[in-house]
A and B are shown apart, each in its own frame.
Chain A
Amino acid sequence: MSDITLEVRDLATHFATRAGVVRAVDGVSFSIARGQVLGLVGESGSGKSVTGFSVLGLVDAPGRIVAGSVVFRGTDLTKLDEKALRRLRGNRIAMIFQDPMMTLNPVLRIDTQMIETVLAHAQVSRAEARARARDALGMVGIPSPEERLSAYPHQFSGGMRQRVAIAIALLHRPDLIIADEPTTALDVTIQAQILAEVQKLARDHGTALIWITHDLSVVAGLADEIAVMYAGRIVETGAVATVLDRPMHPYTHGLIGSVPSRNRRGQNLRQIPGMTPSLLNLPPGCAFRTRCARADGACESDPPENEAAPGHFLRCFHPQLEIAA
């Protein structure tokens, strides 16, 4: 049990807007063990980013965690006050954002932005903090870190900036890193480098990693576990190999079918018909049923979570048991 870094149970984060309640995250559960990588997959608007922010307690108004628990190494983070949360952020739980062009403050030097992170959580001298910042930059593969420390963000390329952001995330050797699509804004070659480096760093430090992405191929190469989100819920979760080879939820099927792949050369990519539903005042029942070929009357009530195979959970009344073509 001590091996579990984070356990999220029935998490619900809702946004009370003028037009109604947006249930961005609606009863999400997952857990992640030390040194493990969880790929959180879904289309944009599926609630995967909000899930990440909810863990850190960084959901902006009008959003609010309305139910559920986020147990991090034995402590329920939803019960903590802002001050206690702040002691964890950037320290035990770090986050990496999607767009490296936007995450670093454009008018503060890299050293300022790194040293302040060190000093926020450690009682060390400025010189010591600077040394730690420099080492972190070296660790993520930034050449001549000492000089680069006194540069401004715009003097770095996109990939280098993301490395800086990762270095900042690693400063305190966190137990958990939440990476919110950190490579989507980067070139493919740089994406591959960064993936490899993060994987290595996480493994070396025993850091648990939640990798939020819409890109199944990234998850395939990186993650141990995968959780597929649709309309604020996790519809299917399990070991990466199992879920990707034997997807059971029609949505996961559709997702995999729409990834270009060498194996299916000459065939048309299959699209999932329709669009992601608006999360505003979503009716009960399976949210995917309007786009699902297998849907029937039963799908108008909420499908319960069941274990199709050991460790392989899904929410569907009509799971697809045959292998995708």
Chain B
Amino acid sequence: MIAWLLRRLVQAAFVVLAMTVIVFIGVNVIGNPVDILISPEADQAERLRIIANLGLDQPLWRQYLHFLVGLLHGDLGRSFVFNEPALRLIGQRMPATMELAVTAVLLSIVIGIPLGLYAGLYPDGAAGRSIMAGSILGFSLPSFWVGLMLIMVFAVQLGWLPSTGRGATRELFGVQWSFLTIDGLRHMAMPALNLALGNIALVLRLTRAGVRENLPMDYVKFARAKGLSPARVVFVHVMKNILIPIVTVIGLEFGSVIAFAVVTESVFAWPGMGKLIIDSINVLDRPVIVAYLMVIVLLFIAINLIVDLLYTVLDPRVRLESQE
């Protein structure tokens, strides 16, 4: 188990290193590093001074080392727009994105699993068929357009829900959260649903496929032959079997949800790090861009690692194999 964990950690470290190279090359070779690291407003003398200051006259490998050292110290430069360390800026915006992403994942579970269960148990009924047809929409509709339609219907036409911002927040562990206030929840409803849509479809299909696959299994018939209630057969025997792949996929999708929050946050003006990165790209606030990319890469790798761990904990077959 320990050896396995170590191996995974080394793998993860390699991916991080590869990504730093890619981001570094992207910033310093493909893009013009002067544009990237120096405010467009700086004059010529200022530019030369900063170029020397930043070591941009140095050979590339040395610049890369410098970048790595900065990364290790959590120093990725200052934002031109906000004149704050880029990482701190990302850190400030992260809770908003996180609560949106977590809510979206919860929604996809709470909505996706029951619908998928129903569609799997009654695949030929009208309701089961419409659930499946709906899930195809959930996959193929462009998420930003769905967001617009949500705003059009619920904010403009019906006036039920606010369309922009986080609403009132309350502090918990030193961070402001929207989900702690009614107003915040009202603001979060549409963006969270919007962000969840693709995953609802995904979870729903996984659940349905799992139910269809497991129902004809002997263990289900044996459970019924033991005289168990249908509820116990479905919710304990079948569910426990299909939850393992579902949890794995949901975990892996969490990273995608955070990435896709970029779109949702832009539609609903949700002040998270996704909105920050889009704004930063639009005003060429490159230190923030670099910081965001590195944070996201680390996040992804952490998520993958956690999901792998979770998988071994959940599935007794894997768990025991890794012990032996």
Contacts and interface: CB of A to CB of B under 8 A. Distances in A.
A103 B320 contact: no
Interface string B200-241: 000000000000000011110111111111001000110011
Per DSSP, chain B at the interface is helix
Given A97-B218, A154-B317, A155-B320, A108 B227 contact: no
A108 B228 contact: no
Interface string B165-201: 0000000000000000000000000000000000000
Interface in A28-59: 53, 56, 58
Contact of A58 (B217, B224, B240, B317): B224
Given A86-B229, A90-B225, A105 B320 contact: no
Nearest to B240: A107
A56 B229 CA distance: 14
Of B221, B222, B224, B229, most A-chain CB atoms within 10 Å: B222
Contact of A165 (B222, B240, B244): B222
How many of chain A's residues touch chain B, expressed as a range? Answer: 20 to 34
A104 B232 CA distance: 15
Interface stretch (A70-78, A116-124, A214-222, A239-247): A116-124
Nearest to B223: A105
Interface in A113-131: 116-117, 120-121
B315 A108 contact: no
Given A152-B316, A155-B320, A103 B219 contact: yes
A79 interface: no
A135 interface: no
A102 interface: yes
Contacts of A94: 225-226
Given A86-B229, A152-B317, A154-B317, A104 B224 contact: no
A98 B236 CA distance: 23
Given A102-B219, A108-B237, 20 more contacts: A58-B221, A86-B227, A86-B229, A87-B227, A89-B224, A90-B227, A91-B227, A94-B225, A103-B219, A105-B240, A107-B240, A107-B241, A116-B236, A117-B227, A117-B228, A120-B227, A120-B229, A152-B316, A154-B316, A155-B320
